[in-house]
Amino acid sequence: MTAYLVFLLVIGGIYALLAQSLALAWGMTGLVNLGLAGFFAIGAYASAMLVKWGGVPLPVGLVAAVVAGAVAGLVVTGATLRLRDDYLAIVTLGFAEAVRIIASNEIWLTGGTDGISGIPGGVPRDWGPAFHVTWLVGVSALVLLVWFALRRLAASPWGRALRAIREDQVVAAVAGKPVARMKAEAFAIAAGIAALAGALYGHYGSYIAPELFAPLVTIYVFLAVTAGGNGRPSGAVLGAYLLIGFLEATRFAAELVPGVSALQAAALREASVGVALILLLHLRPQGILPERNQKAPVA
């Protein structure tokens, strides 16, 4: 039971990183990233390949994942950040799909649909419980680090300008903010955080495959961020742990529904995620921890 809880908390931490990525892009800057699963995948593959086949230490793999994610973020958004926001939604959704197709087909590079197994875990897996507790400490520390960094960023002039862009790009531009550049910076940092989460996911679970990065992952993160509150890193983190709780609860609930097959139970669980997201968007879009108005600094 404790082992199971530790496992869930590690996964919750990985989702807390994804949720903070979305909180930065969507909540703070107004950029809808429907390709989170794609950046998650890029980080997972970059670090897994470097550490497993390149033999570099795990921290180097993590840094490489962040860089790969940020660069991918810049490439994907380069064409769209000056356009209406719907274009970004379409492009990012397409990006995640393209990543999954490439990962499924470039067998020489990614192992195809079989994926990559035996990804090093940083510390020996035969430590047993100590392995998982080490990971819990490591992942939680990174969640805390990103949370602290995002809070600092949000309170900085840069963060204020991002919120100004979110509220009204034209006004922000008239006030002399480099709108396109700041959006690109925010999106790239967010993509890097999502890639970091992917790298951790691969190393912790030791196995990655294209099917693990399905669009449903993106929906999970939207659910987490909407539940917790999309304007605050704290809300995103809280939402991520709640999401994991919700997903586990649906696992047990689906088993209680009489007369359904395993496949039908899985379909019910997935559908319940969609229903939950729709309900939250309608009933409490500001989340559990709504964004607070910041006081203007004393001049």
Q: Footprint of another protein on this chain (CB under 8 A)?
A: 30, 32, 34, 76, 78-80, 82-87, 89-91, 93-95, 97-98, 101-102, 104-105, 215-216, 219, 222, 260, 263-264, 266-268, 270-271, 273-275, 277-278, 281-282, 285
CB of 189 to another protein, least distance (A): 20
CB of 251 to another protein, least distance (A): 15
Spatial separation of the C-alpha atoms in residues 289 and 246, rounded to whole Å? 18
For residues 47 and 80, which CB has a smaller minimum distance to another protein in the complex? 80
For residues 75 and 155, which CB has a smaller minimum distance to another protein in the complex? 75
CB of 284 to another protein, least distance (A): 12
CB of 73 to another protein, least distance (A): 13
Q: Which helix (H) or strand (E) holds 234?
A: helix 233-256
For residues 19 and 76, which CB has a smaller minimum distance to another protein in the complex? 76
Q: Which of 218, 224, 226, 216 lies closest to 266 in space, CA to CA? A: 216
CB of 148 to another protein, least distance (A): 28
Spatial separation of the C-alpha atoms in residues 81 and 187, rounded to whole Å? 10
For residues 156 and 286, which CB has a smaller minimum distance to another protein in the complex? 286
How far, in Å, are 50, 55, 60, 217 from residue 47 at the CA level? 5, 10, 8, 19
Q: Which of 179, 15, 162 lies closest to 82 in space, CA to CA? A: 179
Q: Which helix (H) or strand (E) holds 152?
A: helix 129-155
For residues 248 and 270, which CB has a smaller minimum distance to another protein in the complex? 270
294 DSSP 8-state letter? P
Tokens 């397409």, residue? 94
